[in-house]
Amino acid sequence: MTDYFISDLHLEASRAPVAEAFFRFVEQTVIPEAPSNKLYILGDFFDAWIGDDDDNPLALNVQQKLLSYTQAGLSLYFQHGNRDFLVGAQFAQATGAQLLPEEHVIQLADRSALLMHGDSLCIDDEAYMQFRAQVRNPAWQQQILQLPLEQRRLMAQQLRAQSQSMNAMKAEDIMDVNAEEVTAALLRHDVITLIHGHTHRPAVHDIDVNGNKAQRLVLGDWGENAWFIKADSEGLTLHHFAI
């Protein structure tokens, strides 16, 4: 049995090749190998998600595909990112996916690993952390979900434009993870392996946590390339292929 990890596909209507690459990846690699494999989506699967009641063709098409995968036997797990934090119970029901909390530990063959989207580790970006506290607040989310779809669609567009212009002005290192925050997360869960996405800086980092060797594996975003991490008898490995 193999566990696969992906994140930051940023699926949206204008990025059809990415969705196609994802479908091929699952249908030609993940499922044929063994239908009972596990696929962990670690956030920002969608570039925006305005609620499970969204009826746009991409959202419906992707949910239908995911359902066919879980019906074929695939175990599918979904963690929220900073773009698709409104994915909810109805999505889980429609796809057969299991929603994971923002920090989740899994047991692999040779070790435990902590899974996170990664945005909560970027604490040097204070403006973003304030924004995050707002949009992750369940009361705020309930309020937003009451709004008509059209209004939510407009809000999502504005948020995206705002985040792009803000990020353009930020120093590179502010948008990366904070090393102490990584250490704190590993210690909090008593593990030495962290898998996350969000930063779009795919790499395997060997790090030191209070004198112990630890690893931080970072997924890449999907665009020119598709990135995934594989956990099998060979351990944890980072892979990519051209889209």
Question: Shortest Cβ distance from residue 8 to Mn ion (Å)?
Answer: 6
Write out the residues near Mn ion by the rule CB under 5 A: 44, 81-82, 198
**Closest distance between Mn ion and the C-beta of residue 68, in Å?**
26
> Which residue in the shown chain puts its C-beta closest to Mn ion?
198
Compare residues 86 and 209 and give the one whose CB is closer to Mn ion. Answer: 86
C-alpha torsion angle, residues 51, 114, 11, 235 (rounded to 10): -150
The dihedral through the CA atoms of 48, 157, 198, 32 has a sign that is: positive
Nearer Cβ to Mn ion (109/129): 129
Q: Select 28 or 158, whichever has its Cβ closest to Mn ion.
A: 158
Min dist CB 195 to Mn ion, Å, is 14
The beta-carbon contacts of 50-54 under 8 Å, at least 24 apart in sequence, are 50/86, 50/149, 50/152, 50/153, 50/155, 50/156, 51/86, 51/88, 51/144, 51/145, 51/149, 51/152, 52/86, 52/87, 52/88, 52/89, 52/90, 52/91, 52/94, 53/90, 53/149, 54/149, 54/152
Tell me the closest approach of the beta carbon of residue 71 to Mn ion, in angstroms: 29
